[in-house]
Chains A and B, each alone.
Chain A
Amino acid sequence: MNQNRRVTVKVDDLVKRYRELVAVDHLSLEIYENEIFGLLGPNGSGKSTLINSILALLKFEQGEVEIFGKKMSPTEYDLKQQIGLVPQEPAVYQELTVYENIDYFCGLYIKDKVHKKNLVEQAIEFVGLNDFVKFHPPKLSGGLLRRLNLACGIAHQPKLIFLDEPTVAVDPQSRNRILEGIKELRAQGSTIIYTTHYMEEVEILCDRLAIMDKGNILVSGTSEEIISMSSLEESIDLEIYDLSEEFLQDLKRNSEFSHVNYHEGKLTLQTKQDGKGLLGILHLLEENDIEPISVSSKKPTLNDVFLEITGKDLKDNA
């Protein structure tokens, strides 16, 4: 499927060292047009170094970065024209109002005054800061400040947007607004590279993602693909009274199930993630005239997979 899509960002065999430390280690990556690509990894995994190398802000020892099919360099202004950056820390001028900040950053890309004015107004509308245009950043709440940070990065309507943890320390209302906004940007045709520590955001937002650690991409694909690559199993919990020892032994002998355990009316077991396990146990119960009081199933999450792959909990590293 991906073979038919145009590549927006191509990273080939990138190596970046900080003295002895290899921050990015022979990394190759392709990000396709009009997708939201999630970049996950614990602190120090090389995410920021990768992004800064793609943006040609960092020198690197080896490799090549192409954006829209052209080799990226610090003076490639035509390419820079089409890129927007939303850094993790709000990068806005404290001395300028909300409107002026967006106007300033948009003006770095857009020369035509009328067009710029329209874009600034659209960006304000987009992030829902209409009531705060005359406010200075110190007067804004954390969430509103993040929205301003986002607006400054996307006002010129770039085709490629780098979003570095845009929802950190943001209230739920602002977070939803930002997430909706990101989906809308994709709908408008932008390609988005999104780094975050929030797994639920990745599952909701990203078309594809890559898990990084120690300067390498450990695994990439859609979240379903990544979860299915994992050796982790689906966990099934059933509440059943008076389960016979014979049935229990049959279950333990059944190769479809593992970690079968029955204690005080609660049966827990694990099965493969293909969904057949749940149907299988329900079928067996029916055959043996056993009626469960409740059934629940829990598939492994991206966080579980992340923990399995990197040995670190993503949230603990946030």
Chain B
Amino acid sequence: MLNHLLKYYSKIYFYNKANIMWNFIFPFIYITIFFLALSGLNKPQPEFSEDPIRLAIIADEQQEATDLAGFLENFGQEGLDQQESGKTVGTKQENLYLRFTFSDPKTAKELLEEQKIQAIIRADDPTVIEEYNDLSNLKAGLLSQFLETYESVRKTTVAISERYLSGDYEFEQSQADLEAVHQEAIDLFAADSTETESSTSSVLIFFFSAIAYIAFYPINAGVSTLEEINANQSTLGLRNSTAPISKTKMFFALFVPRWIIHCLFTLLIYLYVNLLGINLGHNYLQISLLLILCTTCSVLIGTAIGALFSFSQGLKVGISVALPLTLGFASGMMHNGMPRIISQYIPWFSKINPIGIVSNGLYILYSDPTLNRFYQQIIMLSIITFIAFILTIIGLRRNSYESL
């Protein structure tokens, strides 16, 4: 009987075109896109002090130029090369991200064509990089971040000044607030700078989260498993429920092939990542263990959701898509400062986020000389997996329903 079920459930799973597309082809596409977007990851990261972003600023008004220069000097120097630098305003060598010069539009364009600068911006609308040349994705991203932060600081400064002028504010308070806003912006980049100093690139953290996301991705395989054996979830579930077979047996026959297939697939993705030349470290065995545990955890969380709740098909698909994305986002897949924010405001969530745990585990394996902290991650992930398994079993014990 078990052979009969295993044979057909494997066949059904592999013959499902949507399943092949979303569970097996999409992860490859996703990793490839991630790889292309963050190309150059496997190469040594550029040393900004040796090769900073060079840009020309076009300013019509002196005040705008002074304000922008004042902000950028926290991260760089005026002057396009060492000799040209007129002044160094407290910029540490490791914080030297930028070299900039003020120019008129014509000269700026000539500098760009001669490749003496990589980008042109306007002081009156600094959030737009007007023209650029030979600017890597990483540098473009960083430059945008600087400029958006400047714009945000500028707006806050204007707001504080207006309040002071309207008499709402004490002078000392407004000065203190202005300084705090500036310092906060500078600290934000100082934090990134510290990460850059460590052996692990902040960009690599994106990749750790992306791999963890893919390992956690097959949650849908778990959710849909229960759909076929719960009478209240589908007509197939209704028909299967009338068969003289225990739900537990049917569950394991459905679960085991899917689980094995997805674990093997996760390892295949890991192999693919290595083939792309992305260096996640040399602890191959530990990385494989972590990824397999993550996939197991994902499928079992899916089965627990499927066993305990009777959702509509649409909602199930929504959960299967939204949950990994949310957990991935919280673990820094889209913004590497997110784990820090989550740890600060919702510390318990960062401790139980499986994608965060795996992402941290990969980071620890990459950077720590010992495996102590890695084992802590493994233990936490194992506990979550076990709880998901127990919840699944509890949900499976229900043989008849309040409604169908």
Q: A87-B235, A96-B15, A111-B1 are in contact. Are A57 and B241 (CB under 8 A)?
A: yes
Among A78-86, A169-177, A280-288, the one that faces the other chain is A78-86
Q: Is B402 engaged at the interface, CB distance under 8 Å to the other chain?
A: yes
The range of chain A's interface size is 20 to 34
Q: Which B residues touch A74, using CB under 8 A? A: 241, 399-400
Q: A80-B242, A80-B244, A85-B238 are in contact. Are A96 and B401 (CB under 8 A)?
A: no
Assembled-state Cα–Cα distance A153/B240 (Å): 10
Q: Is A89 engaged at the interface, CB distance under 8 Å to the other chain?
A: yes
Which A residues, 132 to 179, have Cβ-Cβ distances below 8 Å to chain B?
152-153
Q: Across the interface, do A108 and B244 meet the contact criterion of CB distance under 8 Å?
A: yes
Assembled-state Cα–Cα distance A55/B242 (Å): 7
Q: Is B11 engaged at the interface, CB distance under 8 Å to the other chain?
A: yes
Q: Across the interface, do A18 and B243 meet the contact criterion of CB distance under 8 Å?
A: no
Q: Which B residues touch A59, using CB under 8 A? A: 400-402
CB proximity of A49 to chain B, nearest CB, Å = 8
Q: Which residue of B lies closest to A89 (CB)?
A: B235
Q: Across the interface, do B246 and A75 meet the contact criterion of CB distance under 8 Å?
A: yes
Q: A57-B231, A58-B401, A93-B12 are in contact. Are A85 and B244 (CB under 8 A)?
A: no
- Total contacts A-B at CB 8 Å: 83
Q: Which A residues touch B8, using CB under 8 A? A: 93, 96, 100, 104, 107
Q: Which A residues touch B240, using CB under 8 A? A: 108
Main secondary structure of the interface of B (DSSP, over half): loop
Q: Across the interface, do A107 and B4 meet the contact criterion of CB distance under 8 Å?
A: yes
Assembled-state Cα–Cα distance A83/B231 (Å): 16
Assembled-state Cα–Cα distance A210/B238 (Å): 24
- Which of A56, A94, A153 touches B400 (beta carbons < 8 Å)? A56
Q: Across the interface, do A100 and B11 meet the contact criterion of CB distance under 8 Å?
A: yes
Contact with B along A70-112 (1 / 0, CB 8 A): 0000110110110101010111111110001000110111010
Known: A85-B239, A90-B235. 19 other contacts (CB 8 A): A18-B402, A48-B404, A52-B404, A57-B231, A57-B400, A57-B401, A59-B400, A80-B242, A80-B243, A81-B244, A87-B239, A94-B16, A96-B8, A96-B11, A96-B15, A100-B11, A108-B1, A109-B243, A152-B239
Interface residues of B (CB under 8 A from A): 1, 4, 8, 11-12, 15-16, 231, 234-236, 238-246, 399-404
